[in-house]
Structure 1
Amino acid sequence: MESNKRSLAKAVSWQLVGLVTMAILGEAFTGSFFAGSELALTSCAIGFVMYILHERVWAGIRWGLKKASAAASQPASPAPTGS
Structure 2
Amino acid sequence: MESKLRTIAKAITWQALGLAVTGALAWFHTGDMITALSFALSTAVSGLAFFIVHERVWARVRWGIGAVSTSQEAVKSLI
Q: Which has the larger radius of gyration?
A: 1
- Deviation, structure 1 residue 55: 0.1
Residue 17 of structure 2 aligns with which residue? Answer: 17
Distance 1:68 1:30 in 2: 50
TM-score (norm 1): 0.80
| Percent identity (aligned) | 41
Instruction: Using CA pairs under 8 Å that are at least 6 residues apart, name the structure with larger relative contact order, 1 or 2.
Output: 2
Where do 5+ consecutive residues of structure 1 fail to align? 70-83
Where do 5+ consecutive residues of structure 2 fail to align? 70-79
TM-score (norm 2): 0.83
Residue 74 of structure 2 aligns with which residue? Answer: none
Distance 1:29 1:41 in 2: 16
More helix as a share of residues: 2
